Amino acid sequence: MSESQFIIKPRWLVTMDVGPRVLEQHAILVDSGSIKAIVPKSEIPEWAVDWSVVDCSQHVVMPGLINLHAHSSMNLLKGYADDYALMPWLNEHIWPAEKRWVSNVFVHDGSLLACAEMLSGGVTTFNDMYFYPQATIEAVKQMGMRAHIGLTVLEFPTNYAATASEYIRLGTEVRDQYKSESSISFSFAPHAPYTVSDQTFTQIVTLSEQLNLGIHTHLHETQAEIAQSLEQFGIRPLQRLQALGVIGPSTVLAHGVHLEKQEQETLAMLGAHIAHCPSSNLKLASGIAPIASAQQIGVNIGLGTDGAASNNRLDLWQEMRTAALLAKVASQQAEAVPAYQALQMATINGATALGLQSQIGSIRVGKRADLVAVKLDELNSLPYFDPISHLVYVASREQVTHTWVNGELSYQRLPDGQAQFAGIETEALRSIALQWQLKLQQSAH
């Protein structure tokens, strides 16, 4: 018997795959990080009878959640500048703080905290966009997580780089260094149409084709962004990016709050993906994205948290529920984005957007064992009638008891309620957070 071989026995299995949406009293057999078999509990194969068993008899087991838009190390700026609109928030608070503090150490420590928060909430993969990507990768590796790393590009100087060319050079060097890591993938991440020039976008499109990398950028987050583009270029941002060749099946567009019907049709036609970040859009008063209509037209939509500085939680359970409710009220259709579609946004849709749908996002034989166990027998979850409905409208991240990535148990909630991470002691994380809190508080006065 090998430690890499084990059986998970849940009450319900939500596969997010074709076929039945919910399997009851089935077991998942995991071997060397991949899903070896899915069978009724009463029919465990003879060759697996000696494997260790994880009893999840009061749980739903489902695919790991995928955070399609994050700035993970901004976890250190959680609550640093609340209750401002996007541009004052950036210009007057976040960018000055970043200029003073952002470094390799800042990004590594912030990413450790973000990974811990996400793992404890069942997130196994996140799509990141920030500076010093090597520091984020090292934190991801330590915590036993999976990440799609955005190689950030801007025109203006930061602590990380001085010019767009330097951002691109540093990013491609990191990609070359880590491209053989099975849990790490990459895309170019030009920040936004209002911070990146036509020339740089054109260069990124060429490089993305040569290196087979996607593109991850912010788009149509605010009305002000669109007004600025109309004044400067005479066209809306999406039209500009489309003309530059940025929009395609490997493009992830964060937010997409202000998309007209014709623009939604353009995204569907070109196969681009939206990373919907409902909590951040609400908190920054950016607006309500037209998710119900975009989805109906055929746009693939995943869910993101954005950074903790503008959310302030890296909590995809909250995003699922909020996305479903907002879609209903915005479209005035109670049937819009039912629970199963919200779950799709948080799992297989995110995997598809990142080009990882053959590896993760659903529970299928041969896929990687990125799995989450959610306990549903606690008082606040009773009674239960439909586990899928419960996952979206009732469950919270506090009910996650196990998070596996590549078949490794990266997080477990112990019987006494304490969090246990494979990569670091909880008290070490607490110490890191409090040290940065002290530094940032002192600098603010």
Q: Among residues 259, 194, 218, 258, which one has the least CA distance to residue 129? A: 218
Instruction: For residue 196, give both structure tokens.
Output: 């990146």
Using alpha carbons only, what angle is made at residue 415 by residues 413 and 419, rounded to the nearest 5 degrees? 30
Q: pLDDT value at position 444?
A: 62
Amino acid code (one letter) for 298: G
Domain range annotation of the chain = 5-63+363-413, 65-353
Q: pLDDT value at position 1?
A: 36
CATH tag, 65-353: 3.20.20.140
Who contacts 431 (Cβ-Cβ below 8 Å, separation ≥6)?
none
Q: Quote the CA–CA distance of 125 and 145 in Å, as a whole number.
A: 7
Q: pLDDT value at position 95?
A: 87
Tens of pLDDT, residues 19-64? 889 999 999 999 999 999 999 999 999 999 999 999 999 999 999 9
Handedness of CA 228, 233, 234, 236 (dihedral sign): negative
Who contacts 109 (Cβ-Cβ below 8 Å, separation ≥6)?
73, 76, 139, 432, 436
Q: pLDDT value at position 152?
A: 98
Q: pLDDT value at position 386?
A: 95
Q: Quote the CA–CA distance of 63 and 360 in Å, as a whole number.
A: 8
CATH tag, 5-63+363-413: 2.30.40.10
pLDDT along the chain (445 residues), means of 10: 84 93 97 98 96 97 98 94 87 89 97 98 98 98 98 96 98 98 98 98 98 98 97 98 98 98 98 98 96 97 96 97 98 96 98 98 98 94 94 97 98 94 97 94 68
Q: pLDDT value at position 19?
A: 82
Q: Quote the CA–CA distance of 228 and 226 in Å, as a whole number.
A: 5
Direct distance between the N- and C-terminal alpha carbons of the chain, in angstroms, rounded to an integer = 59
Say how many residues make up the chain. Answer: 445
Buried/exposed 84-119: b ≥16 CB within 10 Å, e otherwise: bebeebbeebbeebbeebbeeebbbbbbbbbbbbbb
